[in-house]
Structure formats: structure tokens, C-alpha cells
Structure 1
């Protein structure tokens, strides 16, 4: 009999017991029963384990199938069950239990990765080498994946380089690890090598590389990957690929291309809708984002947590306080979604940006969970922007007393003190940072020119064309001053003279990237810059004036949102 439900599986089990093991069909039926219980979405892992433990002398196929089922589960408890079953196999070889083989280890390694058990994973690696399975391709792929998850990318790369034959999984595992650990440029370079090696890509590879392109702003490579996708119809029709393409185009500043991909998807799932809503919100097309959400509802696609975050972000970016409260209220009542800290954070951010600082603080204090460092920083930053220094200092002191260990909180604290001229307090915070070993991440900006990514940090003299860039900057400033530009010196929170402050502002990374873009791109082409921090007010005004004087469209993605500068105006309407 065919088995499609657990009810039918139980009937088959009863039939096996009734006819006994002497029946010729018994082994085949038992295999069918066990495989269904273990691997079918309608199966039951506990029932499969019961079948296994009641027949401990079964061969390695059954044990490996059980391990595979555990490794595929999203429940961490099942990953621990996999490890206990593996240990059982190691301890009872004399009782008819099969010893682990080369098919066993990839599943166990995957569970170690899922559980972030670095010490046990490394021990297992040593055991694999001792057993003589160190050159097995599937095991090597699982090891690369595991070390990538742990963040041990040096070890992962070493294993990858030692492999005599690499398949698509080998390449994809390492690419994925590099993207996950904020090394997108290396991931793109590795993908280039993969193409040169003639390795056939799959949907997982495409998704990983598109993530790298989205993170780095590598639009040229993103378009190249899109071309590969179009050639491979079996990949093109997959929703995860469409979602990644929409996300890549949106994060690369090409929202119209993202729309084209979205419109071309026939059977849109919640992830496709969410990627488009989120992209529109980040570009300041907030009404379009909310309208698309309403359209999604009419298509009977149920939103998830990320969808609601995207919609709340649209409300936040457009200062739609009333609408945000309505969406937040509807989450649980209408959609059955329990608000997470991200959802609360969007509302707090919206209220804080709008200057409703007391309301934002009350909303944060009423949350059912403890606010994280990001939420605290959001509110404190808004207090600084709206010049409520008393509230900013009180909240900051309260936050730091909780024993936070992230550099962002201390940097914000030092900036708050500097903004009100409390230089000794700022020095104390910096000293505390040093004692804790916390380092301020440098501000950086990337620009893509002729398919190559160029990254700049503040005052960057290391670029091969640094001399030309600084000459161009001087030319830009001369033209800006004729338009009435005055550097916003209050943005420099250092105890230095005004001339030095002006130089500091001029050497911000996005201004260097902009100067290089003006040198190396043709008139009429758009300049796209990706920045890792929030744009400062001076850089924002600088970009607006440059777009007018040089008649160039400039698109800047900062940590918060996109800014489209055109003819002296910005799409954010100076609200970010």
C-alpha cells in the first residue's frame, strides 16, 4: 500500500506485525514505513525513532536516514537527538548497531553547525580524520559548511583549497560563509573563480552571490548573475531566486529593476512580496509599499513577521504615526503575529524621529521584552537630534549601567557628551571603551566603477588615485561655496579648531567616493554609493548641492535608507 498519512503508516505497521517477518514483503514494507515516518512532511520523527530503537540491529541505512531527518528539522531538540543517536552508534557496535560510515558524518556535522557546538564539531573533525574519511567530498563539504557557520573561515578556506575535486556544494558553502560573516567582496571574487572553473551553479549559489552583491552594492555582478538565471529556466522560476534578485536590485539602488523582477513572478510567495515591500520602503516609496501590502492581502497571501517589519518601516520612513499604530495593532488581532522586538523598535524609532520622545520612551518601557542596545541607541540618538540633552544623558547613563558591551553604545555616549561640550565626560567614556577592548568600526563607503568595487574610509590616502580625488574635492568645494555652502561644523564632535573640523568633514568617506565617481563616470550616468553608517547632515547637504551643480543623479544607501539626490533635492525630504 502507498503511504501518504500517518494514519496509513499505522495501518501498514499493523499489517507488518500481523503477517510477521517471514512475509516476503516485510522488509520492503518496513523500509517504506520508516522512510515515510522519518522524512515525509506528514511523518512523525518520534515514531520513526521508536521504530529504530525497537529494532536496534537494523542496518546503517536506517540510522543514517534517522540522522538525516534530525538534521533537516528546524527544532534544535532534534539536533541534540541526532548527536545522542550518533554516540549510541559509537558505543554499541557489538550489539548489532552499525558503526558510523561516510554517509553518517555529514548529518552529524550539520547538527553541530546548527547548534553552534564548535568544540564538539572540531572533535568530530579529528575523529573523521582518524577514521580515514578526510578526503570524502560530502564530508569535506559538511566540514566547510560547519566551520563557515562557526566563523572559522580560515579553516574553511584551507579545507576548500585542499579538496582535489570541488562540486557546486563546496563552492556555495564557502561563498555563503563569506557572505554571512560580512565579507561580500571575497564571496564575489570566489564566485568569479567558480565560473572560470566551469562549475554549474544552482539556486543556492545564486541566492548566496546575490546576497553578496546586495551587501556590497556590486550591481554589475548582480546583473551578470541575473543573466545566468535567465539562461537557466529551472532556476529562474524559483521564488527564492526571485526574492534574492528583488532584494539585490533594491539594495543596489535600482528599484525599477526590482519592480520588473517582481512583476514577472507568476506565483508570488510571502517572501517575494516582503522583499518588494521592504525595497520600496527603503527607497522612501512608502505609499507604494503600503499599497502593495494591501494588494498582497487581496491576493490571500498571509504576511509574516518580516512583512510587518517592512510595512512598519514604510510608516517610519514617511512619518506615518497613526498608520503605524494601526498596523502594529492589527498584527496580533488580524494576522495572529506576536510582535517582536523589531516591530516595537520600528514604532519607537518612528515616534523618536517625529520628536515624540516621551511617548517613545513610554512605549519602550511598556514592551513585554527588555529593549536591546539598538533600541536604546535609537532613542538616545533622537534625543540628541531633537536637542533634549537632559533626557539623552539620563537614558544613556541608565543604558550604560546595564553593563553593555557593544561599541556603538559607547560611541553614541561619547558623541552625546561632545555635542554639549562635556569633553571630560567624553574622555571617560573613551577610556572605558579602551579598558573593555571595544573598537569603533571605521566609516566606509563603496562605489562601483566599470564593474570594480572601490572602498574608501575617512581621509583615505591609500587609493591609487588619491591625489586626483583630493584635487577634485577642492574643485567641488569651491563650486559649492559659490552656492552658499557652509560646512556644518557641529557634526564634528572633536575639540579642535573650525578649520580642522571643516577638513574632517570634507574627508568623509562618501565624499571621497563621490569625487571618484565624478572623475571616473560619464555625464548622465548615475553615481551609486553604499555607506556602512548613517549619513551626517553635512554630507547630506553636500550631496544635494553637488547633484544640482554637476547635474548628476546620486544614489546613496546609508545604514538607515536610500537617498536619491537630484537637482538639489533628496527623496527623503530631509527626514531620516
Structure 2
């Protein structure tokens, strides 16, 4: 007499521990006719093979196709397995086939399908599933609604995600965290922090995932005071035992200009992994503490912690920021042999930038041409920037026209680069022609923005901004600053201005750059002994850089500016970058 199916695997019996074990159990089930009914062992198998870390989705498919009339529960098991696999689209195709067979989905089915859509960023399919959710009467199901929010955020449809969020009758911490994470991932970190305030006002307590999203938002914005409050909360809740939280704290403090506090977190935490080491190495590098960055890397190696590709990117960035060509090339050339890491385009980007800044433009161009992958626009722009820096206008002009404008005719960055090249060579007519071409094609330079945190509130300024409630005081303060700069012998670098206007207008345009408005506001609103931190979205221009050096001397203030590339610490008339950026 054949043994009962549940004697093979029961809730109290043996537990599947490997795929070999699963194959043995499946063979026994087939031998005893167990695939003809929805046995408990079969259910257990379908739960293990797609979801376990040692499972196999192909085996799951073989088991599933051998079954007659599978239940919704078993269908969900394989849909879930495909949704979390490298081929999530199969979960959607399977769902369509199962609907034809009359299998009825439940709320779990939709959460797994929406996870697949999120992985694929398949918003169109996600919207169709959203329609089925509404027809199924699941608009009040918190799990399904949270999955919808996540799917829309992953597809960068924040308005749709916010509509789902706003209509939810009840929201849990996952709802708030999903919406916050979506804002952060789509460059709307200020909205994320506003949502955090609303969440706390509603009486919900953030969990570790919420804290991670909030710390990323603080890092993006330079919101130090909010970040420090979060750190206090993390200590009270004991979240600082989580290595991911430790890494996020290190990153937040480093990007908020407090590399000293980042070091304190790193040195004081017993739970640091490769990601924490990478955050610390990267933080030191962007602050220009490149020797300390390489020393940190050496410590990491002495503890036999294997670096990953992000770690090596951070080390190469340190070499780039310091101008250490030989050290950078040595690491780059030994990456695969020493660490098993094949160079990616990010690693090539660091080396191209390093060579270009050092004036080795021919070597940088040859390296790009010899890359095993196609170079992107960022790499070519990096090299063109080096051409401008070292006066090789002919090479820069050729590269812009052949490598950039030939492929990306509508990208304003390419035209701006060409204008800057001509301006540095004082080729005003050529620059004017590029400006006319931009105007004819309706291509506009993206506005420079700068943010400053004062008393826990983030203030954002655009170039020429007059929308701020205290705009009158800010411009009056800048006029005072500009006069003091003039008395110190500062001459505005009008070649930085792309507009076809008189020199007086160009000076006015320079005076109204976003970081200058932010520094004027900071000088008005902060105490004389406070450091001023400004976060901007673009690389610092030469005029702003030289102005900040003098302002730090005139007003005896420490000014920290984080631009798109690195930090600049201005103090007593000098900058930590040593004018190398």
C-alpha cells in the first residue's frame, strides 16, 4: 500500500533544505499519483522551489505544469516565484493564461503581479492590473494599495502614486514609506521630508525602512538638522544595530558636510559591512580628504573585507580628486586581477576625468575609444571639460560636434559645453552663433539651483530668483557683498555668461547665480560663528568659486558648498580643493 502523501512532507515532518531534496520528494509524489490533486506536499514544494534562496524557478514550472486544476494558492506560489526571478514578465503571462482557465485571483495575486510590474517598470501593464483591482473591489486592501504605490513610483508616475495614497481609507507605515521612497528615487526629497512630518503628525512611528528613505532625503538636500534628529530617533529605537542604517547615517553626514560625524558613526559601530566601508571611503574622497580615503581602503583590505565595484569607484574618485594619476591607473589596471572586478563605465569615467584634469587629453581620448563598452555622453563631456581647462579648444570643439551633437541634438549640456569652450578662447562670434542655434531650436540651459537649511527649513534658490518671501533683503545683502568684493579687487568673470547682452548685464547675471543668493540669505539668517552649507545641482563656475573664497575671508565664515562633483570648504580666503575641480 502506497504511503499517504502527507507522510512525505507534513507541517510537523521533514523540512525541504535543498533542491536535491525537493527533486526526491517530487519524484515520490509523481510515483504515487500526488500530482493529480492539490496535496499538502505539493503545496510545500511550490512554496520552496520559487522562493528559497537555493530554489529553482524552472523546477517550479515543471511541477506546476504537471498538475491538474491548481488552486489559487498554488497559482500564487508560481506567480510570486516568477515575480521575484530574473524573468518577472513570465508572472504576467502566466496570470493571463490562468485567467483563460478560469482561475480566480485573490489580493495576493495582485500584489505579486504588481511586484513584477515594478521590477519591469511596466507601468502600462500595471495600470491594467490597477483596473482589475478596482473591479475586484480591492480598493480598500492596504497590501494591494501599497503595491500600487510602489509600482507607480518605480515607473516615475508620482502623481498616480500620490492619488492612490491620498484615496486610501487607512494607511500603514508601509504606505507612507513607499510614497517617501518614491519621492526620494525621483529627485523630490523635499516632498519626502514633508511627508515624514505628516506621518509623524498622524501618529505613526517610522520603521527602519522609513528611516532609510528619510536619511537618503536628508543626504540629497543637505538637511543636517533633520538628519541629526533622525539619528537621535535611531539610537532610541536601537536601529543603529542595522548595518544598512549605519551606512545611511555615514552617507547622510558626509553629504551634509559633516565628515567628522560620519567618521564617529563609522568608528563607533560594531556593524559595518562592505557598504559602510564604501560610504566612508567615498565620503572622505568627496571632501578632498583623499589620503584618509586611501588609508581607509587599506584598513578595509587589512581586515580581509572584499571590495566591490562601488568601493573601487570610490577609491578611484579619491585619486581623481587628488590628481594622483599613477595611483589611479595602477588600481584601475589591477582591478580584475586583484579584486575580481571587471571595470564598468563608472570606473572608466573616473580615469578619464583623472587624465583629463591632468592634461593628458590624448591618453584620455584613446582610453575612451578602446573601451569594451560604448561611451556615453557623460564620458565625452568629461573629456571636453578637460579640453577647456587646458586650452585644447580644437580637440574640444571636434569632440562636441562628432561625439555629442551628432547623436544628441536636443541636449542643452552639449551646447553649453561648446559655448564655454568658445568663451574660454574668446571666440565671441562662434559663441554667439551657438546661442542663436539654441534659441532657434528652443533649447534652454537647465537652471542652477542651490539649497540651504536654516532652522530646520530647506530654502531653495534659482538663478535670478525673486520668488523668495525675503527676496528684497537677499538682493540688498548681495549688493553689499558685491561692493565688498569689488573693494577686495574681485573682477567678475563675464566669460562665464552665455547670454548675448552687454557686459553690465553679464555682471548682473553673475551676481544673481543661485549659490550667491543662497550665501546672502545664509549670512542674513545664521549666527556669525555658524558654518554655512549650500547644496547645488551644477558644477561651481569659476566666478562663484573665486567669490566664495573672498567672502569666507571678508566675513570670517566657514562656507561649505557641495556641487555636482565634490565638496568645497572655503575658509580664510582659500578652498579645500586647491582650485582643482
- Please indicate the TM-score interval, normalised by the length of the shorter structure: over 0.9
Cα contact 1:153–1:178 (8 A) shared by 2: yes
1:37 aligns with 2:49: yes
Which residue of structure 2 aligns with residue 136 of structure 1? 141
1:454 aligns with 2:454: no
Which residue of structure 2 aligns with residue 91 of structure 1? 100
Cα contact 1:352–1:360 (8 A) shared by 2: yes
Say which is worse superposed, 235-244 or 210-219, in terms of deviation: 235-244
Cα contact 1:373–1:404 (8 A) shared by 2: no
Residues 281-328 of structure 1 deviation map (CA, whole Å, 9 limit, x = unaligned)? 100011111111121112222111111111110000000100111111
Cα contact 2:218–2:226 (8 A) shared by 1: yes
Cα contact 2:492–2:543 (8 A) shared by 1: yes
Which residue of structure 2 aligns with residue 330 of structure 1? 334
1:106 aligns with 2:119: no
Say which is worse superposed, 546-555 or 157-166, in terms of deviation: 546-555
Residues 328-376 of structure 1 deviation map (CA, whole Å, 9 limit, x = unaligned)? 1121111111111111111000110111111111111111112111111
- Give the Å deviation of 1:410: 2.4
1:80 aligns with 2:80: no
Which residue of structure 1 aligns with residue 492 of structure 2? 487
Secondary structure of the 2:39 match is: helix
Which residue of structure 1 aligns with residue 5 of structure 2? none
- Tell me, in whole angstroms, the C-alpha distance in 2 between the residues paired with 1:71 and 1:120: 14
Cα contact 1:419–1:493 (8 A) shared by 2: no
Secondary structure of the 2:270 match is: coil
Cα contact 1:38–1:48 (8 A) shared by 2: yes
Query: What is the aligned length?
Result: 567
- Tell me, in whole angstroms, the C-alpha distance in 2 between the residues paired with 1:4 and 1:487: 71
Secondary structure of the 2:450 match is: strand
Cα contact 2:247–2:272 (8 A) shared by 1: no
Which residue of structure 2 aligns with residue 316 of structure 1? 320
Which residue of structure 1 aligns with residue 510 of structure 2? 505
- Give the Å deviation of 1:467: 1.7
Structural mapping, 1:238-317, within 5 Å: 238-317=242-321
- Give the Å deviation of 1:432: 4.8
Cα contact 1:407–1:440 (8 A) shared by 2: yes
Which residue of structure 1 aligns with residue 127 of structure 2? 122
1:57 aligns with 2:81: no
Residues 423-460 of structure 1 deviation map (CA, whole Å, 9 limit, x = unaligned)? 55445544554566544210011110001111111122
Cα contact 1:184–1:215 (8 A) shared by 2: yes
Residues 121-172 of structure 1 deviation map (CA, whole Å, 9 limit, x = unaligned)? 2122122212222222111111111111122111111111110000111111
Which residue of structure 2 aligns with residue 5 of structure 1? 18
Structural mapping, 1:404-443, within 5 Å: 404-423=409-428, 425-430=430-435, 432-433=437-438, 438-443=443-448
Cα 1:530–1:131 shift into 2, 3 Å? same
Which residue of structure 1 aligns with residue 202 of structure 2? 197
TM-score by length of 2: 0.93
- Give the Å deviation of 1:15: 3.9
- Tell me, in whole angstroms, the C-alpha distance in 2 between the residues paired with 1:248 and 1:192: 19
Which residue of structure 2 aligns with residue 369 of structure 1? 373
Query: Which ranges of structure 1 fall in alignment gaps of 5 or more residues?
Result: none
Secondary structure of the 1:164 match is: coil
